[in-house]
Structure 1
Amino acid sequence: MNKKGVSPVIASVLLISMVIILAGVVFFWMRGFIQEPTILSGKNIELVCEEIIFRASVDGNQLFLTNDGNVPISELRIKIQNPGERKTIQIDEVTLNGGLNVGGTAIVNADEIVGAESLLIIPVLKGMKGNNEALYVCDERYGVKPQ
């Protein structure tokens, strides 16, 4: 008898191997779509943004900030709009002397805000993403227009 082809055992091993490899490829591909959430105070940081309460006022090139909420603000993004120009500046943790803590105030000098048509101050929070610290810029709807 002249047999040609693959034995059933080898065919089964090849089939199982292909299924395992395909499952691994799909797993790692899907993992790219699902991001690990950034956590602050045991909550998803996107939900913590809703709890932010802060005030801002402008006098010349000085920005006066007060954190009236229960969430520490690490940094700020300031969206500046002038006729024919839009830009965003970053106020980092160092400029805010360690951030805008709960009940804290800060005065920031920013020459870019002088004469601006419109300002929007957006909070940036610091949370944990896995074992690493990560910054999260809150949505613009949680921003404040200075008085």
Structure 2
Amino acid sequence: MARYNKIFAGPVSENLPQVQERLCAAAILPGTALVESGSSFAQAGAASNAKIYIAQENYLAMKGVDDAWSANDRIIGMEMLDEQFFNVRVPTGTNVTRGAALTTNAAGKFVLTATGNRIVAFAEEAFNNTSGADQLVRARAAKSALASA
């Protein structure tokens, strides 16, 4: 079970993030990174250099953050702004510290950045994911992620 029940985490004084809607070719979990692939969204790959969107939970169908969007669904991708917080999905076994630089792995999940990899986001909380399942961790977009958009 997820630690949070929403992907967009605020601040409440901000308008909701800008979103894009596109079909997705495969099943996608909320909180993972998306990239544009033609007229669709695809899961971001390892250390992706493309513009990153965050998959929002399917609130229109009253589904939670652990319910995947089905393949060929119209999915909502939120544009990352550095003044907004997002709960992003990190795989089990990932020990995140506050301020840690994050990038994407091959499954579009957020992992610690290796030297030379693009920094997509910074962790806004510390969390050692020894839960045995992917978890959501609070993060904020890195300015470098916005510059390449």
> TM-score, with normalisation over the residues of structure 2?
0.25
> TM-score, with normalisation over the residues of structure 1?
0.25
Structure number with greater Rg is: 1
Instruction: Determine which structure has the larger helix proportion and give its number.
Output: 1
